[in-house]
């Protein structure tokens, strides 16, 4: 990994200090209020009383927090709401496509068909004419999120300072939530719209092909990465001998995408469904582990203690097996696949930073990849052991 300061880690890994959008929030507020007028029953007289962006975790879809009031026939109704917006194409989006309707439907079905806690969803608007981009609206949920800024394992977060028993409760409760998600009945029928849209003779082959197409999108305009190309070839050369049955995969199953009860250390809302797909359970299990390991690698490079006893692969796999009866296999391969996808995200967020003039284009494109050194060790077979 290239040498970093703590400030670099905070601004580059999660992008909290980096620009994400060129959207005018004043214009969005006016157009969103006009949309509510058209969407709610006549005479509702909706009014948006506040609207703001958020520096919350994540670097892909835009998230806006807003408060709205309207007349629901029984009196004035007040709601605390969240709008998820597809990013503008001029703002260097992370993914080549954003299907907000699929995200909305996934959250809605998960809420109806499982005990996985998700925010209540209210409306989905596919027409970009309304506010300039497709979006959906959901209710706001109260809870605590392990921060990306500074990363929660750096030593100054509610999770870092929690008692070891509470840290373990959060870990186990998260794995249990993933197990409940994976237990949704008839997933390939219910979530057929999430099947990977790529060639391949198995769901995993198709999912990796999607990642390859995503890389080709990220590599445009001079951002090709020899490291990612080597890693994609490595995945193909070391393909798992067995593939678990396809189920609903959350896709972005890291604790930074979960809101937790402040006292119980249990999930109250599972967020960020834009990577949801159909595939083996190991996709989510390995992503959960690597979503922590990437912060641990950064902490180690800064000579910080981190949280090395948290979300260890063997502990996570054991808990998952106890919940489901299925022992996850080939987690080092799936963990490497997770690292490859993180590398593609870093290519895109690096390109965005270059686009907005926040950083200079490096001579070596691979220097944009903040998990470069760990990924190279994975390809050499010296990381997961």
| Average pLDDT of the residues in 291-301 | 97
Give the pLDDT score at 2: 41
pLDDT over 60 (residue 3): no
Whether 365 has a pLDDT exceeding 50, the answer reads: yes
Q: Is the pLDDT of residue 297 over 50?
A: yes
- Asked if residue 22 has pLDDT above 90, the reply is no
- pLDDT at residue number 14: 45
How confident is the model over 98-154, as pLDDT tens digits? 999 999 999 999 999 999 999 999 999 999 999 999 999 999 999 999 999 999 999
pLDDT confidence band for 1 (50 / 70 / 90): very low
Is residue 9 over pLDDT 60? no
Active site residues per annotation: 252
- Range 184-189 average pLDDT: 98
Residue 309 predicted with pLDDT over 80: yes
Indicate if the pLDDT at residue 57 is higher than 60: no
pLDDT value of residue 61:
74
Query: Could you report the per-residue pLDDT of 67-106, keeping only the tens digit for each?
Result: 999 999 999 999 999 999 988 777 788 998 899 999 999 9
Domains for the chain: give ranges and CATH numbers: 19-139 (3.30.200.20), 152-380 (3.90.1200.10)
Q: How far apart are CA 231 and CA 114, in angstroms?
A: 36
Could you tell me which residues come within 8 angstroms of residue 289 by beta carbon, excluding any fewer than 6 positions away? Answer: 311, 312, 313, 316, 331, 335
The pLDDT of 284-288, averaged and rounded, is 98
* pLDDT level of residue 33 (50, 70, 90 thresholds): very high
Confidence category of residue 385, pLDDT binned at 50, 70, 90: confident
Q: What is the distance between the alpha carbons of residues 45 and 42, in angstroms, rounded to a whole number?
A: 8
Please, where are the H alpha helices in the chain? 6-13, 25-39, 100-113, 164-182, 187-190, 203-218, 226-237, 282-301, 313-324, 331-355, 372-380
The whole-number average pLDDT for the span 40-46 is 96
Q: What percent of the chain has pLDDT over 70?
A: 93
Mean pLDDT (the chain) is: 92
Instruction: Give the pLDDT of residue 6.
Output: 46
Find all residues with CB under 8 Å of 158, minimum gap 6, and list them.
Answer: 144, 146, 152, 262
Judged by average pLDDT, the poorest of 76-80, 192-196, 304-308, 352-356 is 352-356
């Amino acid at each position: 990994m290239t040498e970093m300061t703590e400030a670099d880690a905070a601004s580059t890994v999660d992008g909290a200090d980096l620009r994400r959008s060129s959207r005018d929030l004043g214009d969005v507020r006016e157009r969103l209020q006009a949309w509510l007028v058209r969407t709610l029953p006549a005479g509702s007289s909706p009014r948006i009383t506040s609207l703001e962006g958020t520096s919350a975790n994540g670097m892909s879809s835009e998230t806006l927090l807003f408060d709205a009031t309207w007349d629901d026939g029984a009196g004035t109704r007040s709601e605390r709401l969240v709008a998820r917006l597809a990013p503008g194409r001029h703002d260097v989006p992370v993914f080549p496509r954003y299907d907000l309707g699929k995200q909305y439907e996934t959250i809605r079905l998960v809420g109806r068909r499982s005990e996985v806690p998700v925010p209540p969803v209210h409306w989905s608007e596919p027409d970009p004419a309304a506010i300039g981009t497709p979006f959906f609206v959901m209710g706001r949920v109260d809870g605590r999120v392990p921060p990306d800024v500074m990363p929660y394992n750096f030593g100054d977060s509610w999770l870092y300072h929690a008692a070891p028993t509470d840290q373990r409760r959060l870990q186990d409760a998260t794995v249990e939530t993933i197990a409940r998600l994976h237990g949704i009945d008839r997933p390939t029928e219910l979530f057929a719209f999430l099947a990977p849209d790529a060639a391949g003779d198995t769901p995993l082959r198709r999912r990796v092909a999607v990642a390859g197409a995503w890389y080709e999108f990220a590599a445009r305009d001079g951002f090709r990465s020899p490291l990612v190309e080597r890693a994609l070839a490595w995945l193909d050369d070391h393909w798992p001998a067995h593939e678990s049955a396809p189920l609903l995969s959350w896709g972005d199953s890291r604790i930074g995408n979960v809101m937790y009860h402040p006292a119980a250390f249990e999930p109250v809302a599972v967020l960020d469904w834009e990577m949801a797909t159909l595939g083996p359970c190991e996709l989510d299990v390995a992503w959960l582990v690597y979503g922590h390991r990437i912060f641990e690698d950064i902490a180690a490079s800064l000579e910080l203690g981190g949280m090395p006893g948290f979300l260890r692969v063997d502990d996570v796999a054991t808990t998952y097996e106890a919940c489901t009866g299925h022992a996850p296999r080939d987690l080092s391969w799936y963990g490497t696949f997770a690292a490859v996808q993180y590398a593609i995200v870093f290519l895109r967020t690096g390109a965005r930073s270059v686009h907005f003039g926040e950083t200079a284009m490096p001579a070596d494109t691979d220097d944009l990849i903040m998990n470069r050194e760990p990924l190279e060790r994975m390809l050499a077979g010296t990381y997961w052991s």
